[in-house]
Amino acid sequence: MAEMPKPLRPAEIRFRVDPGDVPPEKAARQLHLTLEQFNELLPKLQARGFPRADPDTGMFDLDEIDRWRAKRHTSVESPAPPTAEPELDMGERFIIAMRRKARARRIRRKTKG
C-alpha cells in the first residue's frame, strides 16, 4: 500500500520584511502627526512636493517620504558635498591594512628600544 503524502506546511519566516508602502496612519506617524492632523495638512504638504499615495492601494511610500523630508532642508546656498574618493577593492584595502600594521609594529619597536 502506498504511503500517504505528508500535508504541506507553510515556509518558516527566516527574516523580517519591513513594508515599503504604508497606510495613511503610518505615514502620519512617520511625520509625528495624528491621522486627523495628517489628513488636514495633506493638501498643503502635497503642494510642497509630499509624495502622493498609490492610486490603487492608497498606500504611501516610506522611502519617498524620507527623501521628501531630507530635501526640505537643503538650500541652494549650502556648500557642495565633498567629492567621494573612488572606492577601493578588497585587495587594495588589504594592502593598506597590512601597511598600517607594519608601520604600527615599527613604531612599537622604536618606542621599546
pLDDT given at position 76: 53
**Tens-level pLDDT at each residue, the chain (113 residues):** 667 777 777 777 777 778 889 999 999 999 999 999 999 999 999 999 999 999 999 999 999 999 999 998 776 555 556 666 677 888 888 888 899 998 888 888 877 76
Residues 6+ apart with CB under 8 A from 62: 19, 20, 21, 22, 26, 27, 30
Q: How many CB atoms lie within 10 A of CB 59?
A: 16
pLDDT given at position 81: 60
d(CA 51, CA 59): 10
pLDDT given at position 113: 62
d(CA 94, CA 50): 44
